[in-house]
Structure 1
Amino acid sequence: MNWQSVSFDWNQARAFLVTAEEGSLSAAARALGLTQPTLGRQVSALEEALGVTLFERVGRSLTLTQAGFELLEHVKSMGEAANRISLAASGQSQEIDGTVCISASDTASAFLLTPILKQLREIAPGIHMEIIATNSVSDLQQREADIAIRHVRPEQPDLTARLVRETTAHFYASKTYLNRKGRPQSANDMANHEFIAFDRPDKFLKYFTDSGLPLTESNFKLTTASGLVGWQLVRNDLGIIVMIKEIAEMFPEMEQVLPSFEPFVVPFWLATHRELHTSKRIRLVFDLLADTLSSKQLLG
């Protein structure tokens, strides 16, 4: 079929695209914020308009038919074009009121953004803030967020990025834990302690052994992908963790472990799409984040 000669309803095409990407109507409905029956009707309407079957059901999942595969590439191009149009339109907006979405790690979201959001509410009460607390990298080009706070330099050419701060992270544990287990005086002493891992123990272990710590997998009794969960575990006397010093210093019951050990450098990068950076609303939030995160008085 010559897809270029067919006129699409974008809502139907988007329903098809997201269903193909998610693999089921229920997942696609959640992604689009629609009910499953509504999404199903949109996909069915597209199939009826084209006179083809786009999906086959396999168990609880959907798989693309050959016609679906052929259509998918065309609809992906439409989706990319729609994203570019949305970015351009948002970038031209000079309205202050509206929504700005920030993506940051869970610990940065919980502890570092709070004073900044208080300032923003006083400066621009009409801005609605959406915080995505995630330790994965949000795709700014796909509008998963308007602004991202990252600890690695963004590489995409369409992004505007600024290094606003470099800080350090250190080992911390609760004073109760250290009173019970002892305070390490050397790197070798760390082998007698328990650690919280933020990744698979074998991957996390290499990071520490490369830094000169004689640890083994047996030192990692707990693993979590959440910085907040890990920090709470350590606050409850379950081991040692690496944490940014500005956050750790908020908790007087916590103590830096082996202060003589070389600290880990943690950069703070702010990134946004270059077209969004021309939006007055997003520029205001971006600049406030940059000013506050770069301040010596980061926590106010």
Structure 2
Amino acid sequence: MRPGAEVSLRGLALGDAFGERWFAYPVKERVQAIADRRLVAGVWPWTDDTAMALSVVHVLREFGRIDRDTPAQAFATTFHHDPHRKYGSGMRRVLRALHDGADWREVTVTVFDGQGSWGNGAAMRVAPLGVWFADDLDAVVDQAHAQAVVTHAHPEAAAGAIAVAVAAAANARGRDLLPAVLDRTPEGEVAAGLRRAERLSFTLDPRTAANELGRGRRLSAVDTVPYAVWCAARHPDDLIAALWATASAGGDVDTTCAIVGGIVAPRAGSDHPPQWTPEPLPDLSAASGRDRTPAT
């Protein structure tokens, strides 16, 4: 396990669990509770964001690369053994079909009238992969795309995953995030959102930025990734400040915070205040239990 990738995974899980806890408040109270920093007591469970990131990391640790078939099997197995992690209804259908032996090439294009999902699932799980390949941005782009298409066939979902992976790689190496991300993200709506993000001042209130960029309410990469990358670029070396800023806009807080945590932690570390109580991750040194080799 590469240390930077593990730190990214832990930051992702922390952001995911932190963000998810705000849903304990009614919608009308959530933004105010975040503004007041009223942390929810008890252990904070993580969601499908972290579960799928764990699958990505296990595949990388076992095989060193993504070959498309292997992560499809890993995602399906993880879902089958622990289906109560806030997976969306469309992704549940995809993962059930994969677990039952369907070919991901056929399954992923059956959702959203044949277009494939352009949701944020491929982006929310990918930051540790970006750090894993941080020394080779061509590999970051290729591998982020490979892990995306097995569940999200729409090009904007892959673009969102590429953007997050490159952001994590750039931040791990101490580089400015947004220029690196814009240089590598394929043209489309995600890239257009990132260009808008690059023009926004970091002195802006994150809620104002979210009004321009989206805050994940539409559960799409287009509506999620530009805002999350902007928040990470605003606080590239301060994980806790980045998570509070990200959460302040509301929206799909577990996913935006998971993305930001995965991007920022490799540079900032994944330490957190003692009153923050995320659910522990499984033993990352243990074998994943899969006895197979990558497809050729």
TM-score bin (small chain): under 0.3
Give TM-score scaled by structure 1 length. Answer: 0.24
Larger Rg: 1
Structure with more relative contact order (C-alpha pairs < 8 Å, separation 6 or more): 2
Q: Please report the TM-score for the alignment, with normalisation by the length of structure 2.
A: 0.24
Which one has the bigger strand percentage? 1
